Amino acid sequence: MSIDGQKLFVQTLEFYYQNCRQKDHYYEMVTQYLKKN
């Protein structure tokens, strides 16, 4: 994975995290991922 691709992936997760209001499986995955970084 390229650095640009990884950066885009993280930005996508942050966007999803900021706009998500549901406590679903993906929300939990994003929360755990962001806590590690």
Give the tens place of pLDDT for each residue, 6-31. Answer: 777 778 877 777 766 555 667 778 78
> 13 with 33: CB under 8 angstroms?
yes
Residue 5 pLDDT = 67
Identify the residue with better confidence: 18 or 33: 33
Structure tokens at 5: 């691709």
Query: Quick one: pLDDT band at residue 1, thresholds 50, 70, 90?
Result: very low
Residue 20 pLDDT = 61
